């Protein structure tokens, strides 16, 4: 089920603090923050700790990603780490607003996958794998952000999210004297409730789009309780100082279905394979197409993994249909999984994690029918540890991997 969260006040979604008086803010809403707001609301209703744990365990709450509100909004997602943009003129070439267009953003996963698979077939290439901007010839560099897809008169347009921050400088108060502390100032940088409109039409409401999944099918009561909690509780920090009030609405999830994404992923791989094979020194000596079914697992939240020996790792090993699958290609970055427990009044354990946007590619040898059901369960349940806290949310065959030409 898809929901849309619309802030009515600035949102201060705490991030790692630098050693300064500034309080930075995330530009997306982690699912664990929403889970904490629900638990706090239940606590204020007088629920016991056991009841709270039982209630919040009824839903899997994903991360909510930012976008500018528009009737044509299809979905909002983080860019995978395989995405690159022109160093000279970054940004989407298909932005609805002409003044915001760059030379384009392209995904390198499928071309690089085809290149590596051909190398394993002993293909030899005259040059190493590299990507250049088709407009200016400059090099491409990694880009990390959130983007949204809009339907503009039947055509899909990509737009980068551009946050607008609400900044105030405040005086720190002494907890002992309950008065201002001399020479102690701090500046929270919160997300404002408005953002530049995607079509260049002034400003639009900022919305966050995400998924919640009942653990038991048809558990509409848990969804209703969750929505009521968010409508009555503030989200994020500084609740008593005019931050965090939101409203919740139903959203239409227009993300392509899984079977369509999986089919398009493999069709695009075969097309890219043919193009890169033609560049080999002896193309007739390598297969004309890849064997097996390939799929990617893209992290929509940091993932916490361990190898078979229990050592923290950045790559997950999957078990699908009774088979153990190891990634044949991955693009990832390290991160730290941490947080604050309001119930305990203590920080949560800090662990090594793979960063949001990390990509892992697997190969499946067998019929597609059995694979689809396993992949649907993977998307529904997530991967790795501490999934009940919002870690390990994933998407199979991220739609941006099909953008092998600048968008």
Cα(200)–Cα(62) distance, integer angstroms: 30
Q: Which residue, chain included where needed, has tokens 């409401």?
A: 205
In this predicted structure, what is the pLDDT of residue 239?
A: 77
Query: For position 343, what pLDDT does the model report?
Result: 58
Q: How confident is the model at residue 356, as a pLDDT?
A: 95
What's the CATH number for 2-79+146-250? 3.30.70
pLDDT for 63: 93
Q: Do 59 and 222 contact (CB within 8 A), yes or no?
A: yes
Q: Please state, in angstroms and as integers, the Cα–Cα distance from residue 309 to each residue in 65, 75, 245, 313, following that order.
A: 35, 39, 45, 10
pTM: 0.90
What was the pLDDT predicted at 18? 56
How far is Cα 61 from Cα 388, in angstroms, rounded to an integer? 8
Secondary structure in 3-state letters for 328-366: CEEECCEEEECCEECCCCEECCCEEEECCCCEEEEEECC
140-142 and 83-86 as β-strands: parallel, antiparallel, unpaired? antiparallel
Among candidate residues 352, 341, 379, 246, the one with its CA nearest the CA of residue 35: 341
Distance between CA atoms of residues 241 and 161, nearest Å: 27
Alpha carbon distance 170, 185 (integer Å): 6
Q: Report the pLDDT value the prediction gives residue 399, as an integer from 0 to 100.
A: 94
DSSP classification of residue 80: P
As a whole number of angstroms, the distance between CA 120 and CA 284 comes to 15
By C-alpha distance, which of 30, 32, 95, 102 is closest to 68?
A: 95
User: What stretches in the chain show pLDDT beneath 70?
Assistant: 15-20, 182-183, 341-345
Return the domain boundaries, the chain.
2-79+146-250, 109-136+256-402
Q: Which residue has the tokens 């499946």?
A: 364
Is the domain defined by 109-136+256-402 classed in CATH 2.60.40.4350?
yes
Give residue 158's Cα distance to chain centre. 16
Count of residues making up the chain:
407
């Amino acid at each position: 089920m898809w929901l849309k969260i619309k802030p009515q006040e600035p949102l201060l979604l705490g991030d790692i603090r630098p050693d300064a008086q500034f309080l930075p803010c995330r530009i997306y809403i982690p699912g664990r923050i929403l889970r904490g707001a629900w638990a706090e609301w239940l606590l204020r209703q007088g629920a016991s700790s056991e009841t709270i744990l039982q209630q919040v365990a009824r839903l899997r709450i994903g991360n909510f990603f930012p976008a500018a509100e528009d009737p044509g909004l299809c979905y909002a997602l983080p860019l995978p780490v395989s995405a690159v943009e022109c160093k000279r003129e970054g940004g989407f070439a298909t932005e609805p607003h002409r003044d915001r267009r760059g030379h384009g953003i392209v995904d390198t996963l499928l071309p690089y996958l085809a290149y590596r698979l051909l190398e394993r077939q002993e293909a030899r290439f005259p040059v190493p794998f590299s990507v250049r901007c088709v407009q200016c010839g400059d090099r491409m560099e990694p880009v990390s952000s959130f983007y949204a897809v809009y339907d503009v008169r039947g055509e899909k347009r990509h737009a980068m999210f551009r946050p607008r921050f609400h900044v105030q400088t405040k005086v720190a108060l002494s907890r002992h004297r309950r008065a201002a502390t001399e020479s102690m100032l701090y500046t929270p940088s919160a997300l404002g409730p408005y953002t530049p409109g995607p079509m260049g039409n002034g400003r639009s409401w900022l919305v966050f789009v995400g998924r919640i999944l009942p653990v038991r099918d048809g558990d509409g009561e848990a969804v209703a309780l969750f929505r009521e909690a968010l409508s009555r509780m503030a989200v994020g920090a500084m609740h008593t100082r005019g931050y965090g009030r939101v409203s919740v609405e139903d959203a239409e999830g227009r993300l392509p279905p899984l079977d369509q994404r999986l089919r398009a992923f493999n069709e695009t791989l075969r097309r890219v394979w043919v193009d890169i094979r033609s560049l080999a020194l002896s193309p007739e000596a390598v297969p004309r197409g890849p064997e097996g079914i390939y799929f990617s697992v893209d992290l929509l939240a940091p993932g916490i993994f361990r190898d078979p020996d229990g050592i923290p790792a950045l790559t997950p090993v999957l078990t699908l249909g009774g088979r153990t699958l190891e990634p044949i290609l991955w693009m990832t970055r390290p991160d730290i999984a941490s947080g604050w427990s309001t119930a305990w009044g203590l920080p949560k354990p800090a662990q090594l994690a793979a960063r949001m946007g990390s990509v892992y590619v697997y190969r499946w040898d067998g019929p597609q029918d059995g694979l689809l059901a396993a992949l649907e369960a993977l998307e529904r349940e997530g991967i790795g540890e501490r999934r009940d806290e919002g870690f390990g949310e994933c998407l199979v065959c991220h739609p941006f991997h099909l953008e092998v030409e600048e968008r």
